[in-house]
């Protein structure tokens, strides 16, 4: 018996490790497209990009650890095809790997730049991307970040901390508003201006062209930005192309049931950013691109492989975070661009605050907290138990009162 895990980022590594922890005694093969030993992705836009940590410190799995766990590493050759009938994965180097259970964990890729790939233009998804960009972030350089989502905002914050002049461009007036609503999104994006970043929101990019030793960014309002380098952070696309001829249902990711099994296959599972699984609490399929989801889903997939007679549905409370400047932004649940029902605290200037979102039955649907971990814990608990938003608001208001009393004026 052999379990093959295709994808060597956090979802794949944690699945392989969780299989061993769950008592899976047969062969485990971990396939990765990059020759690099597996590494964590969140530091690529933060600590590793800033140079405050090094490559070895972001490893998810070392070669000795893999040997000790009995995990066979097949790195440096991407999966290019899957034959579910023969239970065979084909790699780019021509190798064919048979399996009894397959875990698809190939994640997502950075959405390519629609303005070409001139020298000085970067995307950020891999270790190589990070190290190339880090070399370009020279103090005094003007960096233009295209895309005001979490990755773009984190890169802007890191670059500003390194002493660069930074401009963030996004066609939406409130880039994070599509996730948390415009009211909270306005507070979250204002942090850029507080740290000296220029924002050009509500304006798109028409072209990025070479100009001398740098780049020229032409905007839709007719203005032009001269840049030493440009980072394009406009989202991600699932790495599901290699499944195209497999016959599996692929629709913006691998479509799975509530047990994370590929539709109509009990020997193929999806985990992490690529999995679009049926979420029992929401009654619909969801695909979530974040570290916490990958880790939690990996544990469920490992359980379901090792306990096929008693599988567990995967019904998490969604959770994401982003570190920007001196703000830790944490989101649980699914705000879906709605406006909050209640805001606790005073947003801005790194003060702790929370925004609570209500469902149709007035229970807590989602929460955004800034620099307030204890409030986030309370909100996640409220989501799990279906607590009315008014009750959570009362609890947080009392927590905030005590917090203010303890904080020196």
Q: Using the predicted structure, report yes or no on whether residue 110 has a pLDDT greater than 60.
A: yes
Check residue 401 and give its pLDDT: 92
CA angle 322, 328, 334 (to 5 degrees): 55
Helix (H) or strand (E) holding 393: helix 389-406
Whole-number mean pLDDT of the chain? 95
Residue-wise pLDDT for 300-324, tens only, equals 999 999 998 999 999 999 999 999 9
The token duo for 112 is 């390519």
Check residue 404 and give its pLDDT: 84
Angstrom distance (rounded) from CA 373 to CA 193: 24
Closest CA to 382 of 322, 331, 286, 317: 317
Predicted confidence band at 398 (pLDDT cuts at 50, 70, 90)? Answer: very high
Q: What is the mean pLDDT of residues 129-154?
A: 96
- Length of the chain equals 409
User: 366 phi and psi, to 5 degrees?
Assistant: -170, 165
Check residue 346 and give its pLDDT: 85
Angstrom distance (rounded) from CA 96 to CA 36: 21
Give the percent of the chain with pLDDT over 70.
99
Q: Using the predicted structure, report yes or no on whether residue 345 has a pLDDT greater than 60.
A: yes
Predicted confidence band at 8 (pLDDT cuts at 50, 70, 90)? Answer: very high
Predicted TM-score (pTM) of the model is 0.94
Check residue 409 and give its pLDDT: 55
Give the percent of the chain with pLDDT over 90.
94
Residue-wise pLDDT for 239-272, tens only, equals 999 999 999 999 999 999 999 999 999 999 999 9
Determine which of 114-128, 177-191, 235-249, 395-409 has the lowest per-residue pLDDT on average: 395-409
Q: What is the mean pLDDT of residues 146-162?
A: 96
The token duo for 390 is 């008014």
Check residue 242 and give its pLDDT: 98
Q: Using the predicted structure, report yes or no on whether residue 3 has a pLDDT greater than 80.
A: yes
Q: Using the predicted structure, report yes or no on whether residue 230 has a pLDDT greater than 70.
A: yes
Q: Between the CA of residue 71 and those of 2, 27, 28, 305, 389, what are the distances in Å?
A: 11, 7, 5, 16, 45
Predicted confidence band at 281 (pLDDT cuts at 50, 70, 90)? Answer: confident
Residue-wise burial string across 21-55, b where 16 or more C-beta atoms lie within 10 A, e elsewhere: eeebeeebbbbbbbeebbbbbbbbbbbbbbeeeee
Torsion sign (Cα): 54, 33, 248, 310: negative
Angstrom distance (rounded) from CA 86 to CA 193: 56
Q: Structural domains in the chain?
A: 2-109+236-306 (3.50.50.60), 112-232 (3.50.50.60), 326-406 (3.30.390.30)
CA angle 205, 210, 211 (to 5 degrees): 105
Check residue 172 and give its pLDDT: 96
């Amino acid at each position: 018996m052999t379990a093959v895990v295709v994808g060597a980022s956090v979802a794949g590594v944690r699945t392989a490790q969780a299989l061993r922890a769950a008592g899976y005694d047969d062969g485990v093969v971990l396939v990765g497209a990059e020759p690099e030993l597996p590494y964590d992705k969140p530091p690529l836009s933060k600590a590793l990009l800033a140079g405050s940590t090094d490559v070895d410190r972001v490893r998810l799995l070392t070669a000795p650890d893999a040997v000790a766990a009995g995990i066979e590493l097949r790195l440096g050759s991407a999966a290019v095809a899957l034959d579910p009938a023969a239970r065979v994965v084909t790699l780019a180097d021509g190798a064919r790997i048979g399996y009894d259970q397959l875990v698809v964990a190939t994640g997502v890729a950075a959405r390519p730049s629609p303005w070409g790939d001139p020298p000085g233009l970067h995307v950020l998804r891999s270790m190589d991307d990070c190290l190339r960009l880090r070399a370009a972030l020279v103090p005094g350089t003007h960096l233009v970040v295209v895309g005001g989502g979490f990755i773009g905002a984190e890169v802007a914050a890191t670059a500003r901390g390194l002493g660069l002049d930074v401009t963030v461009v996004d066609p939406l007036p409130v880039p994070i508003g599509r996730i948390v609503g415009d009211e909270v999104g306005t507070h979250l994006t204002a942090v850029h201006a507080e740290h000296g970043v220029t924002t050009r929101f509500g304006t798109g990019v028409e072209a990025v062209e070479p100009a001398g030793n740098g780049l020229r960014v032409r905007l839709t309002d007719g203005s032009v930005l001269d840049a030493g380098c440009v980072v394009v952070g406009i989202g991600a696309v699932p790495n599901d192309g290699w499944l195209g001829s497999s016959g599996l249902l692929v629709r913006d990711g691998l479509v799975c049931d509530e047990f994370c099994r590929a539709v109509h296959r009990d020997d193929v599972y999806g985990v992490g950013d690529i999995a679009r699984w049926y979420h029992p609490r929401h009654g619909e399929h969801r695909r979530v691109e974040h570290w916490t989801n990958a880790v939690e889903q990996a544990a469920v997939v490992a359980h379901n492989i090792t306990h096929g007679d008693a599988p567990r549905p995967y019904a998490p409370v969604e959770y994401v975070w982003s570190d920007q400047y001196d703000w830790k932004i944490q989101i649980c649940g699914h705000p879906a661009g709605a406006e909050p029902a209640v805001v606790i605290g005073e947003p801005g200037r790194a003060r702790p605050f929370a925004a609570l979102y209500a469902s149709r039955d007035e229970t807590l649907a989602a929460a955004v907290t800034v620099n307030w971990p204890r409030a986030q814990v309370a909100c996640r608990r409220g989501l799990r138990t279906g607590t009315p938003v008014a009750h959570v608001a009362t609890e947080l208001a009392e927590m905030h009162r005590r917090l203010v009393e303890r904080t020196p004026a």
